[in-house]
Structure 1
Amino acid sequence: MPLSEVPRTVAHGVERGVRSGIVSVLLIGVRRRDPGAIVNATLAFVAASLPDVIEHRYDVEFRPWQRVYASIAMLMHAVGMLGPYDDVWWWDHLTHTHSATLLGGIVYTASRRRGRDPRTDVIGVVACVGILWEGMEYVIHTAANRLGIEPILVTYSKIDIVFDILFDLVGAVLVIVAGDSLLENFDLEHGEPRPGR
């Protein structure tokens, strides 16, 4: 079954399961007194709710698979804080690629709505945000170490930073290659801001 044909009821069930998983990560983080897991699970839960907010604000409708895809990205980040970022060598690469496709998709859609070719915008924004993210991770990790507290974000090494940005760019390229077919429901004629909102 193609992604575009996933029944809405199945997608909503998966979304509820994913959100429950994020709440479980939050509870485990509280039990372990792990600020990284707590903060990341909280932010992941909020981000997993964004498709609802966007649909309410704009006259667009996410396809069921798009909602699930975005929610799973948030769950992966939250779960990663419980150990996979440290223990599973490819976890960080996958989450960076996944997140970059979400950011790239937003940029792609915004560029298309402005009548622009989205390719350079997607690469530029994903690269810049990736570099800013890595800088923020480094500052937070360094400050937490100096204060003697558990960091909510971790920088592993210089090579890790290079790989993070590389996989961000992989996500951007995936959006450029598949954006026309996978994001057509967000084209301008499908979604104008609703008046008064």
Structure 2
Amino acid sequence: MWSRRVERVAGRAIQLVICLIFFVGVYTRNLSVVVNSVGALGATFLPAILRRDWQIRLDPFLGLWLAVAVLLHAIGMLGPYTYIDWWDHVTHTLSATVVAAVGYTTARAIDEYSEAVHFSDRFMFVYILLFTLAAGVFWEVLEFGARLAADAVGMETVLVQYGPEDTIIDLVFDSVGAVLVALFGTPALTGTIESLTDRLEQTRT
């Protein structure tokens, strides 16, 4: 069973690895590695911020879940995205589970908070899938825009985009991540949903 101590130790180790990736990016003058490692490092602090500033209960597993997702993305920018065919599939699936968890938790908390709405399990399954795909499409558009902007100014792109076929495959694995959360991930989110509902109640009061 996960504990806060395990999360803290493993989280610090992951942050250290991401810092090393940042310095590799600086040393090699690789802008994409630098930018993505900074973003990944910032994401690892989100669970602590949610707990401290918003009093949101997060299972320790959820903090590690996010940290591993951003770590694999940061590592991918060093080369695995280019040289390992399945690396992109793994990172998209894992990242999609994080996005799906956010969408599910928010919608279920609103469902618990408000008597005006009721989301059935069937609706939630479809919602999680569509929410995750929408986020995936937004990310792909962001990658495409970053590449166009980099080409226009003659700079190295900070996000990697390999074309329409790659985009479709990415969205397929985004769907896989959403389905995994819909089928198996919701029990781990129960405490977070309850605390978010409590937070909404406090806001209304």
- TM-score of the pair, normalised by structure 1: 0.91
Match of 1:93 in 2: 89
Cα distance in 2 for residues equivalent to 1:188 and 1:14: 26
- Does the C-alpha gap of structure 1 residues 190 and 155 become closer, same or farther in structure 2, counting only changes over 3 Å? closer
- TM-score of the pair, normalised by structure 2: 0.87
Q: Which of 21, 26, 36 is the equivalent residue of 1:25? A: 21
**One-letter code aligned to 1:138:** F
**One-letter code aligned to 2:173:** F
3-state secondary structure, aligned to 1:183: helix
Match of 2:116 in 1: none
- Answer whether contact 1:18 1:75 (CA < 8 A) is retained: yes
Question: Aligned pair 1:151/2:147, yes or no?
Answer: no
Q: Structure 1: where are the runs of 5+ without partners?
A: none
Map 1:1-197 onto structure 2 (within 5 A).
Answer: 5-115=1-111, 116-117=119-120, 118-188=124-194, 192-193=198-199
Equivalent residue pairs, number: 192
**One-letter code aligned to 1:63:** D
Q: Structure 2: where are the runs of 5+ without partners?
A: 112-118
Higher helix share: 2
| RMSD, aligned CA | 1.7
Cα offset, 1:56, TM superposition: 1.6
- Answer whether contact 2:59 2:188 (CA < 8 A) is retained: no
Pick which of 183-192 and 64-73 moved more.
183-192
Pick which of 89-98 and 123-132 moved more.
123-132
- Answer whether contact 1:51 1:62 (CA < 8 A) is retained: yes
Give % identity. Answer: 31
Cα distance in 2 for residues equivalent to 1:191 and 1:15: 27
Cα distance in 2 for residues equivalent to 1:151 and 1:163: 21
Cα offset, 1:178, TM superposition: 1.4
- Answer whether contact 1:73 1:98 (CA < 8 A) is retained: yes
